[in-house]
Amino acid sequence: MIRLFHALKKAGILGMNRRNADYIMLFNPRHNYPLVDDKLLTKRLAEEAGIHVPKLYHMIQIERQIRQLPKMLEGINDFVIKPAHGSGGNGIMVITGSRNGSYVRGSGLLTNIDELGHHISNILSGMHSLGGQPDQAMIEQRVIFDPMFDRISYQGVPDIRTVVFRGVPIMAMVRLPTRMSDGKANLHQGAVGAGLDMGSGRTTTAVWKETFVDTHPDTGDPIAGLQIPQWETLLELAARCYSLAELGYLGVDVVLDKYQGPLVLELNARPGLSIQLANRASLLRRLQRVEALDAIPDSAEERARLGQRLFGLDTPPVAQVLAPA
């Protein structure tokens, strides 16, 4: 047992206790949490800073507004309902279209406006929020994700999680929804996490429910070697989010919209540790390398380049040649 603990330490794997005590508590001032916990606030700040985010259609703050839901949704066929203070992807409902007065969920199931209303009501009463406080519901633009992920994701929106330490992107992964995760891009709900080479932006290794995989469990297509488009822009975007929230240890979730490119979906003040499994690499080593730097550049662009240079693989994975679907 003790030997295993030592082995974990030697491998430099970041554990939950260490992450909380040495990174989150030291680098993330508590008073900045609302900036990332309240997705509405994050969205406003991001818009002011010129960072692209999905468009907000409507905001529902009180129960009574639910009655106006049919009116609000007029002319909008695909959208996402989410709690402003949600955590871990809970309470997100994706509507991909409408058919004969019913709405089509991300999973393909039909649902009606009453169920949407009930879902929003649950959000308002704080069912999905941290600590169960009353919450607000956001109805926002559904991202039409880049078709490059079609072959290795099952419904839902794959997103790219980047851990940014003191403004330097240090590790990234792309989270691919599966049938099991019900279209949600959350690893503990059964999504696949695929590590990304920081230098090239190509997928490397992948993990699914704590086991290593090479192919997507639903589509069977190989995961490695996929090139994330606009990788450098994406890293710069992630680096810029640092100045947005002033959180030293930050998780940035980005989605790739087919038309708008990288959009920041949300920020996370307590990014998880599974990214280490996806990349098969130690977070602690990378954190310590950034800590050892004498100076960190002010410009987000330089920080993004720094991350690429420090943490890129010596031999980037071979690019997958995408056969036209």
Partner 1 sequence: MTNLHLKILALILCALGVAGVWYKVSVIGLPLQPDAETQTWTVEARVSYQAEGGPTQVRLFLPGTQPKFSVLGEDFVSGSFGLARESEGNNRIALWTARRASGEQTLYYRIRLAADRDGDSVLTGPQPPFPSVPDYPEPYGSAAKTVLEEVRRESADIASFTRRLLIRYGATSPDENVQVLREDPDTDLEHVENIIHILAGARIPARPVKVLHLRDRMRRGTLDTFLEVHNGTEWVAFNPRTGQRGYEDDMLVWYRGAGELLQLSGGSGGQVEFSAALTVRQMVSIAEQRAAQRGSLLMDFSLLGLPVQTQNVYRLLLLIPIGALVMVFMRNVIGVSTFGTFMPILIALAFRETQLLWGIFLFTFIVAMGLAIRFYLENLKLLLVPRLAAVLTVVVLLLAAVTILTHKLGLERGLSIALFPMVILAMTIERMSLVWEEHGPSEAIKQGVGSLVVAVIGYLVMFRPQLEHLVFYFPELLLIVLAVTLLMGRYTGYRLTELWRFRHLLREMNKS
d(CA 302, CA 81): 36
> Closest distance between partner 1 and the C-beta of residue 11, in Å?
5
Is residue 222 at the binding interface for partner 1, with CB under 8 A as the rule? no
> Closest distance between partner 1 and the C-beta of residue 325, in Å?
31
> Closest distance between partner 1 and the C-beta of residue 287, in Å?
13
Cβ closest to partner 1, residue 255 vs residue 277: 277
Which window, 100-108, 153-161, 238-246, 273-281, contacts partner 1 (CB under 8 A)? 273-281
Helices (H) and strands (E) in the chain, counts: 11, 13
Distance of CA 301 to the CA centre of its chain: 21
> Closest distance between partner 1 and the C-beta of residue 65, in Å?
15
- Burial class for 261, CB neighbours closer than 10 Å (0-12, 13-18, 19+): middle
Cβ closest to partner 1, residue 262 vs residue 272: 272
Closest C-alpha among 244, 237, 243 to residue 41: 244
Is residue 49 at the binding interface for partner 1, with CB under 8 A as the rule? no
- CB half-sphere exposure, 217, CA atoms < 13 A: 18
> Closest distance between partner 1 and the C-beta of residue 146, in Å?
27
Binder to partner 1 among 30, 74, 75, 211 (CB under 8 A)?
211
- Burial class for 313, CB neighbours closer than 10 Å (0-12, 13-18, 19+): middle
Is residue 210 at the binding interface for partner 1, with CB under 8 A as the rule? yes
Is residue 21 at the binding interface for partner 1, with CB under 8 A as the rule? yes
> SS3 for 35?
helix
Cβ closest to partner 1, residue 42 vs residue 204: 204
Binder to partner 1 among 125, 141, 230, 233 (CB under 8 A)?
125
d(CA 289, CA 283): 10
Binder to partner 1 among 33, 176, 189, 251 (CB under 8 A)?
189
- Whose tokens are 């969205």? That residue is 43
d(CA 53, CA 2): 46
> Closest distance between partner 1 and the C-beta of residue 109, in Å?
14
Is residue 4 at the binding interface for partner 1, with CB under 8 A as the rule? yes
Is residue 5 at the binding interface for partner 1, with CB under 8 A as the rule? yes
In this structure, the number of other CB atoms found within 10 A of the CB of residue 30 comes to 9
Per DSSP, what are the bridge partners of residue 262? Answer: 256
Which window, 11-19, 33-41, 75-83, 214-222, contacts partner 1 (CB under 8 A)? 11-19
Contact of 161 with 141, CB cutoff 8 Å: no
Cβ closest to partner 1, residue 164 vs residue 283: 283
Amino acid at 228: I
The tokens describing 229, both together, are 């488009």
> Closest distance between partner 1 and the C-beta of residue 275, in Å?
11
> Closest distance between partner 1 and the C-beta of residue 206, in Å?
12
Cβ closest to partner 1, residue 84 vs residue 244: 84
d(CA 89, CA 176): 13
Segment holding 121, helix H or strand E: helix 113-124
> By rule CB under 8 A, what count of residues binds partner 1?
35
d(CA 317, CA 320): 9
Is residue 11 at the binding interface for partner 1, with CB under 8 A as the rule? yes
Cβ closest to partner 1, residue 87 vs residue 227: 87
Binding footprint of partner 1 on the chain (CB under 8 A): 1, 4-5, 7-9, 11, 13, 15-18, 21-22, 63, 90, 114-115, 118, 121-122, 125-127, 188-189, 207, 210-212, 276-277, 280-282
